[in-house]
Amino acid sequence: MLVASAFVVLAALYGDAPDAKHAWAVHDWNRPKPAKVEVDEKGVPSDAVVLFDGTKESLERNWCDLNCGPTKWQFRDGVFFCRAGGGFGAVRTREEFGDCQLHIEYRHDPALIHGNSGPQMRGNSGIFLMGQGYGYEVQVLESYFTSQEAEGKPGFVDNYADGQAGAIYAESPPAVNPAKKPGEWQVYDIVFHQPVWKDGKLVHPGSVTVFFNGVLVQDHWEMEGQTTHRWRRPLSQHPAKGPLTLQDHGCEVEYRNVWLRRLPSRWDNLTCSEMSACPDKVMEQRRKTAEKLFAKISDPKAATADNVMALAEVVSYANEGEYNAAFNAALEAYRANPGDKREVDRVNGALDILVRGKVIPKSAKVSAK
Ligand code: MG
């Protein structure tokens, strides 16, 4: 919240200065504005890759079998599906992705839901975020009924918690169970960050966040390993991109409305958290901004308040080399011949930010005449 008069223009050096973990100052006007994204009437953002829009053409264009041949998954009335009894094999996207936001909807036909071959045959499918081989599965399963009495018909219903819908399979059960009845559409919104490796060593295990029918069921779950039936398997390094893949587990499951947004790695973010700020990259960005701002100054030698403040902003990004020399020279010249108290207060307001950021000592501030 801006606590200031409406007439105050947010000037340079208004908030705390850039530092080793922050490429930008607080409330930094030099910071790029986020790209504009429009959301259409179906809720699809304009920067999304639409992987299935309800047409057969989009199924054929975007999806294939594991060998990149035509998929056996079928199209019917705006949905695509694998059939009960299996034999279709998994379906994957032709394009490959890494970190992403994924929206996907699925539905079970109540007439085809049974667990006669075991509880994991109740409409089992799954969303493999980077392909079936690397093992990041968000489970798809009929999970509204969790007891035989409730469903009122025979068949295995009870499941292990880390195998029901919304689970990171074999690792993390959903926090709660917001599944709707079979026959209704179920909606997943998933945020996935793949594990990060450096020089063959795991730097971060990656994370999966899942909203299930709008309810948060996986809250930034950090991957323990690959999602494998019965076995704990450690994470394993793989290419940075892989196909979004849907599992054929021998059960009929319908899918619709599939779109995905590519995300940058949050571990490469310049602006926040202990982990993500890479000091070298932060400094690289700060130098770029300093260079841009310095180039805008027509006379760096001017002994004016405006010039001192402009240079103070430059050194808030990079207090080095010609920037540092120009700032010190202009400050010294201004201190020898300062303006009135109102002007000096303005200059000192900017210098205070540098003092707080330990860029300059308190003694560098200017005394009015
Ligand atoms: Mg599955």
Distance 42 CA to ligand 1 centre (A): 27
Tell whether the model's pLDDT for residue 349 goes beyond 90: yes
Do 253 and 130 share a structural domain? yes
Distance 130 CA to ligand 1 centre (A): 14
* Average pLDDT over all residues of the chain: 91
Do 175 and 65 share a structural domain? yes
Distance 150 CA to ligand 1 centre (A): 23
Distance 56 CA to ligand 1 centre (A): 24
pLDDT at position 11: 64
**Which tops the pLDDT comparison, 127 or 110?**
127
Taking residues 144-150, what's their average pLDDT? 82
Going from the C-alpha of 250 to that of each of 74, 122, 179, the distances in angstroms are: 14, 10, 21
Examine the fold and report which residue of 219, 234, 268 is the final residue of a domain before the chain moves on.
268
pLDDT band at 1 (very low <50, low <70, confident <90, very high): low
Distance 133 CA to ligand 1 centre (A): 13
The pLDDT tens digits for 284-299 are 999 999 999 999 999 9
The label of the residue with tokens 């079979």 reads: 182
Whether residue 48 is contained in a domain is answered as no
Structural domain total, the chain: 2
pLDDT band at 114 (very low <50, low <70, confident <90, very high): confident
The pLDDT tens digits for 4-63 are 444 444 567 889 999 988 889 999 999 999 999 999 999 999 999 999 999 999 999 999
Examine the fold and report which residue of 251, 268, 285 is the final residue of a domain before the chain moves on.
268
Distance 190 CA to ligand 1 centre (A): 16
pLDDT at position 6: 43
Whether residue 39 is contained in a domain is answered as no
Of residues 248, 260, 262, 243, the one with CA closest to residue 93:
243
Do 116 and 264 share a structural domain? yes
Whether residue 90 is contained in a domain is answered as yes
The pLDDT tens digits for 227-242 are 888 888 899 999 999 9
Do 281 and 249 share a structural domain? no
Distance 140 CA to ligand 1 centre (A): 6
Whether residue 44 is contained in a domain is answered as no
Tokens of 108: 């079970």
Distance 344 CA to ligand 1 centre (A): 68
Do 287 and 263 share a structural domain? no
Examine the fold and report which residue of 268, 288, 316 is the final residue of a domain before the chain moves on.
268
Distance 37 CA to ligand 1 centre (A): 33
Do 302 and 255 share a structural domain? no
Do 148 and 78 share a structural domain? yes
Distance 125 CA to ligand 1 centre (A): 4
CATH of the domain at 130: 2.60.120.560
Distance 264 CA to ligand 1 centre (A): 27
Do 319 and 360 share a structural domain? yes
Tell whether the model's pLDDT for residue 272 goes beyond 50: no
Do 188 and 157 share a structural domain? yes
Residues that place a CB less than 5 A from ion ligand 1: 124, 126, 247
pLDDT band at 266 (very low <50, low <70, confident <90, very high): confident
Buried b (16+ CB within 10 A) or exposed e, 259-276: bbbeeeebbeebeeeeeb
Chain centroid, CA 113 distance in Å: 35
> Among 86-95, 202-211, 250-259, 272-281, which stretch is predicted with the lowest mean pLDDT?
272-281
Tokens of 209: 């966040």
Do 292 and 238 share a structural domain? no
Helices 341-356 and 305-317 pack at an angle, to 10 degrees, of: 10
Tokens of 109: 């036909």
With H, G, I as helix, E, B as strand and everything else as coil, classify residue 161. Answer: helix
Distance 210 CA to ligand 1 centre (A): 15
Whether residue 1 is contained in a domain is answered as no
Q: Which domain holds residue 315?
A: 6-33+271-364
